[in-house]
Structures are given as structure tokens and as C-alpha cells.
Amino acid sequence: MEHSFAPLQNDLIVRAAWGKKVERPPIWVMRQAGRYLPEYHEAKGNKDFFECCRTPEIASTLTLQPIERYAGLIDAAIIFSDILVIPQAMGMTVEMVDKKGPHFPNPLTSPDDGQYREVMDRHCDVSKELDYVYKAITMTRTKLNGRVPLIGFCGAPWTLFCYMTEGGGTKLFKESKTWIYKYPEETKALLQKIAELCVEYLALQVKAGAQLIQVFDSWAGELSPAAFKKFSEPYLAYISQHLPGRLKEYGLEPVPMIVFPKGAWYSLDSVSNLGYNVVGLDWLHDPAEAVKVIGDRPVVIQGNADPGVLYGSHAAITEAVKNMVDGFGWHERKSGWICNLGHGITPFVNPEDLKFFFQEVHRLTK
Ligand code: 1CP
């Protein structure tokens, strides 16, 4: 089924992501639909998190909340969902525990554990299993009515692998490190399987109406440069190399692809060669240094203010914006930068302070 949606009134982020010169840098923030917004808690009530993801009416309402609150200041929506829907589609149980985060009651313990074989052997049909995401995307595009583009996303294979083996968030990465250093071949087989599902999942999100896509490698920085080369980068590359072809098979035009290898600052040079149009930077990068590393390659940077600055004073926020505007050479280049935080916005931020951040980006890039 082909959809027809209202034409975009604001396509700034799409043009910027393709490397074009633009009148001002586009802005959005990771996790912009979420816990810092009082209207999020109101709409979510005490409904289960994944139930909200699975209900297109609710997911689209939550996606639109920051677009409505920050109308005229913000340049993209990101579909309300979670990276962990892929492990769910692969047959694993994932619960979202209030105030704690995701929990897998039965994580993958070792290659001999029957569950690993089950996950590996099971045919996973993301067109069927994740149909609710595509429905939410299509409904959101209709409700957006062309206001701003909609971003689709998935978790990177390495990051999803961490959750599938750890069973939730972790500081130690004991299980995932045991896997990569004890069972590298079985690890790679699973990473490859996840990468293939990511390609299909992203293609179907675009088919449903997503206009850019982002791959979140939130745990990239837990790997050494050598381990990143083995266990993350090849699978990020698989996604960027196969998605355009898959879109073509569906009769769809390519969309800009964003990769966010959080914490893997050492990988910027090689990640810039993977075929992604945009590389997301966390706040450990100095903007001017990152611009130098990318050099004349056609790669756009997304980022990278410390989300923690939003707990600070307005003067501190202004300074953080100035640092990006100057460091990314905005006034000289007028291209190559999508403004964002260096990671997701955190709970307890005052939404008025995020508004001030947006206003400062607009003011200082005039
Ligand atoms: O607004 C948006 O950005 C869209 C929605 C979105 C996205 C892009 C959510 C909603 N989750 C994600 C991606 C996601 N989920 C990532 C990658 C981005 C990142 O690094 O922040 C990760 C690692 C997750 C896993 C996850 N889901 C966590 C982290 C736990 C840990 O390991 O520390 C948590 C707390 C969630 C729950 C979640 N996902 C999204 C929201 C709004 C929430 C909070 C749910 C709630 O308590 O109400």
C-alpha cells in the first residue's frame, strides 16, 4: 500500500542531512518525546510503556507532543517507540519496569543455552511482528500534516546484543563481554541476524512514512577500538550498505541515514566512511576537532551539547550553544550540522529550559 501525505512545509533537516547548504541548522533532540514532559505523563497515565508503543493512537500522540509544544522551534519528529522492539520481535520477552528501565526475564546466557538456538533458528518476520510501528508511523505522518519530517529508528546490532545478553541496563557489561571474548563466532552470527532484521525493519518504516532513519548504537563506547571494529562497525556497515537497495526493491527513494555510535569517539574517522549521511556525536567530541576529522567527506554532523547543560543556568546554555555554533563553523559553512544534544534529554529537565536552548540556537545562527 502506498501512502500519500501532505507535502512538507519544513524540509530543513532533510536538505541538511543530504549535505545541502541551508538557511539555519535544523534542530531536534533525542528522547524529545519522554519523561521530562508533563504532557507525556498525562497521556501515558499508568499504561504500560510497550502498550503505548503498540497503540498507534497513543504512540502518535506522544510523538507529536514536542512538535506542538515547540512549534516553529523544532525541525523533526521521531516516532515514539523503543529500540527493544526488535528483541521482542525475535521472540524474547522484554518488560519496561517503571523508573528502572527494560528487563528481560530470560536473557541469552551462553551459546549452549537453548534460547540462543531458538532465537537463531526462529524465523522472525518483522513485517508482521512490528506492524504496529508502521501503523504508528503512518498515523503520525497523517497527523503531522507536513509540519516537520518524521524520523524512524532502530537500535544497532551491538547495542541490542548487549540488552539481549545482559537482560537490561548494566554498568559492568559482564555478560556481553563474556560473549564477545569467549564466544566470538556465535556472537557474530547473532549480530548478523540482528543486522538483517534492522535493514528490513528500517525499510518498512520508510515504506510506512519515515523520512529519515537513525541507528542508535548507545553502547558503542563500551568497546575498545579493536573490539568496535569487530563487533559493531561491520554490522553498522551492513545496515547502511543494504538499506538503500532494499528501499529500491520496494520502489522507494533513498532517505538520509544517521548513525549514533555513542561513546566511540575514536571511531569517528572510520564511521565517516560507512555510507551514513549523518554521524551523531556525543558531548565528548570537540566540535572543531570533529569537523577536521571529517575533512572534505560528504558527512554531516549531528550533536552534540552535553544534555546535562539543561540542568544549568541560561548563561551556561547560551555558552554551550555558542560552542557548537563556533566549533561546527556554522557561519562560515552554512551546512554540515544538525543541532542536537549529545544524547537523549534526561528526566527532570524543565521544558522551558529546552525551549530556551532552541531559541538560542535560532538566535545565534541568524
Ligand atoms: O522521543 C524519542 O526519542 C522517541 C522515543 C525513544 C527512543 C528513540 C524511546 C522512548 N526510546 C528510544 C531509544 C532507546 N531506548 C535507546 C537508544 C537511545 C538512547 O541511548 O537513549 C535505548 C538505549 C533504549 C532503551 C531504553 N528504553 C532505556 C535505557 C535503559 C538503560 O539501559 O539505561 C529506557 C529507560 C527505556 C524506556 C523508554 N524508552 C522511551 C521512553 C520515553 C522511555 C521511558 C519510559 C518511561 O519510563 O515512561
Q: Is 23 helix (H, G, I), strand (E, B) or coil?
A: coil
Compute the distance from residue 216 Cα to the ligand 1 centre, in Å.
10
Compute the distance from residue 186 Cα to the ligand 1 centre, in Å.
27
ipTM of the complex: 0.90
- In a 13 Å sphere around the CA of 98, the CA atoms on its Cβ side amount to 6
Compute the distance from residue 31 Cα to the ligand 1 centre, in Å.
7
Do 151 and 213 form a contact (C-beta atoms < 8 A)? yes
Q: Whose CA is nearest to atom 28 of ligand 1?
A: 101
Domains of the chain: 12-364 (3.20.20.210)
pLDDT surpasses 80 at 91: yes
Compute the distance from residue 102 Cα to the ligand 1 centre, in Å.
9
- The DSSP letter of residue 309 is G
Using one digit for the tens of pLDDT, what is the confidence trace for 288-343?
999 999 999 999 999 999 999 999 999 999 999 999 999 999 999 999 999 999 99
Segment holding 88, helix H or strand E: helix 85-89
CA distance 151 to 212: 5
Which cell numbers in the block locate residue 113? 543455552
Q: What is the pLDDT of residue 232?
A: 98
CA 202 distance to own-chain centroid:
12
Do 96 and 34 form a contact (C-beta atoms < 8 A)? no
CA distance 194 to 155: 9
Cβ of residue 167 lying under 6 Å from some atom of ligand 1 = no
Cβ of residue 83 lying under 6 Å from some atom of ligand 1 = yes
Q: What is the pLDDT of residue 1?
A: 54
Do 354 and 34 form a contact (C-beta atoms < 8 A)? no
pLDDT surpasses 80 at 2: no
CA 29 to ligand 1: nearest atom: 3
Average pLDDT of the chain, as a whole number: 97
Q: What is the pLDDT of residue 3?
A: 86
Using one digit for the tens of pLDDT, what is the confidence trace for 45-85?
999 999 999 999 999 999 999 999 999 999 999 999 999 99
Using one digit for the tens of pLDDT, what is the confidence trace for 234-260?
999 999 999 999 999 999 999 999 999
pLDDT surpasses 70 at 34: yes
Q: What is the pLDDT of residue 99?
A: 86
- The best mutation among 35, 61, 83 to test binding of ligand 1, ranked by most ligand atoms within 8 Å of the C-beta, falls on 83
pTM value > 0.95: yes
Q: What is the pLDDT of residue 265?
A: 97
In percent, the amount of the chain with pLDDT more than 90 equals 99
Q: What is the mean predicted confidence (pLDDT) over 224-242?
A: 98
- If one counts every other C-beta atom within 10 angstroms of the C-beta of residue 21, the result is 10
